[in-house]
Chains A and B, each alone.
Chain A
Amino acid sequence: MAELAPNKAPETAIRGARFLLWLEAWKSFKKNKLAVVGLIIVLIFVFLAVFAPVITPEGINEQKLAERLQPPSSEHWLGTDDFGRDILSRIIHGARISLWVGFVSVIGSIVVGCFLGILAGYYGRWVDTLISRFFDIMLAFPSMLLAIAIVAVLGPSLRNALIAIAIINVPNFGRLIRSKVLSIKQEEYITAAKAIGMRDRRILFHHILPNSMAPIIVQGTLAIATAIIEAAALGFLGLGAEPPTPEWGKMLADSKDYLVQAPWTMFFPGIAIMLTVLGFNLMGDGLRDALDPRMKN
Chain B
Amino acid sequence: MFSYTIRRLLMLIPVLFGMTFIVFFMIRAIPGDPAQVILGQLATEEAINNLRAELGLDQPWFTQYFEYLKQLLTLDLGESLRTRTAVSEEIWPYMAATFELSFVALLIAVVVGVNAGIISAWFQKSWFDYTAMVVALVGVSMPIFWLGLMEQWIFSVQLDWLPPSKRENVKNPVETITHFYLIDSLIQGRMDQFVDVVKHLIMPGIALATIPMAIIARITRSSMLEVLRSDYIRTARAKGQKMFWVVYKHSLKNAVIPVLTVIGLQTGLLLGGAILTETIFSWPGIGRYIYNAIEYRDYPVIQSGILIVATIFVLINLIVDLLYAFIDPRIKYN
Q: Which residues of A contact B (CB under 8 A)?
A: 34, 133-134, 136-138, 140-146, 148-149, 152-155, 225, 229, 232-233, 236-237, 239, 249, 252, 255-256, 259-260, 263, 266, 269-270, 273-274, 277-278, 281-282, 297
Contact = CB atoms under 8 A, between A and B. Distances in A.
Contacts of B19: 137, 140-141
A170 to B, nearest CB: 13
Contacts of A140: 15, 18-19, 310, 313-314
Nearest to B156: A259
A148 B278 CA distance: 14
Contact of B138 (A133, A141, A274): A274
B275 interface: yes
Contacts of B272: 142-145
Nearest to B30: A153
B142 A274 contact: yes
B92 interface: no
B96 to A, nearest CB: 18
Interface residues of B, number: 44
B15 A137 contact: yes
Minimum-distance CB pairs A-B, first 6: A144-B272, A270-B146, A137-B18, A142-B272, A278-B141, A142-B268
A276 to B, nearest CB: 9
B141 A277 contact: yes
Nearest to B12: A140
Given A145-B275, A259-B152, A233 B18 contact: no
B149 A142 contact: no
Given A140-B310, A141-B309, A144-B276, 5 more contacts: A141-B19, A142-B309, A145-B275, A153-B29, A232-B145
Interface string B285-315: 0000011001000000010001001100110
A290 B302 CA distance: 44
Contacts of B240: none
Contact of A237 (B31, B137, B219, B291): B291
A140 B307 CA distance: 10
Contacts of B15: 133, 136-137, 140
B47 interface: no
A269 B26 CA distance: 33
A158 to B, nearest CB: 16
B43 interface: no
B329 interface: no
Interface of B: 14-15, 18-19, 21-22, 26-27, 29-31, 137-138, 140-143, 145-146, 149-150, 152-153, 157, 219, 222, 268-269, 271-273, 275-276, 279-280, 290-291, 294, 302, 306, 309-310, 313-314
A297 B225 CA distance: 11
22 contacts: A133-B18, A140-B310, A140-B314, A141-B310, A142-B271, A142-B309, A143-B268, A143-B272, A144-B273, A144-B276, A145-B306, A148-B275, A152-B294, A232-B145, A252-B149, A256-B149, A260-B157, A266-B146, A273-B143, A278-B138, A281-B137, A281-B140
Contacts of A144: 269, 272-273, 275-276
Contacts of A233: 143, 145, 276
B101 to A, nearest CB: 15
A173 to B, nearest CB: 17
B150 A270 contact: yes
Nearest to B270: A142
Nearest to A248: B143
Contacts of B157: 259-260, 263
Contact of B137 (A133, A154, A256, A278): A278
A274 B146 contact: yes
A232 B306 contact: no
A138 B313 CA distance: 12
Contacts of B145: 232-233, 236, 249, 252
B138 to A, nearest CB: 6
B150 A266 contact: yes
A274 B268 CA distance: 21
Given A145-B306, A148-B275, A278-B137, A153 B146 contact: no
